[in-house]
Structure 1
Amino acid sequence: MSFRDLGFLHLDLSVGHTDHQVGDVWGSIGMATVLTTNATLPFNVE
């Protein structure tokens, strides 16, 4: 997991803190997207 991925996850967590239900949904989607992307693409994709 790259630092940029962690930045996006931090943003998801911040959104979740503001609106817990919506934030959890988007946080879960974001996590799934990050994991899928990391599983299918090399780390050095810009």
Structure 2
Amino acid sequence: MLTERWKEASDASSTSADGGMLKNAAIALGLAVFLGIFSQVPYWE
């Protein structure tokens, strides 16, 4: 019973893992772009 539950949970998470990986990649890319743009802002005179 217990082993079957973790197998089912593993199968369910493997299908959503691709979406999670894509989401993490998009967040990382967005953060890199934001930092790249923010580094160009002159905040000292």
Q: Kindly name which structure, 1 or 2, has the bigger radius of gyration based on alpha carbons.
A: 2
**TM-score, length of structure 2 as denominator length:** 0.46
Higher-RCO chain (CA-CA 8 Å, sequence separation at least 6): 1
**TM-score, length of structure 1 as denominator length:** 0.45
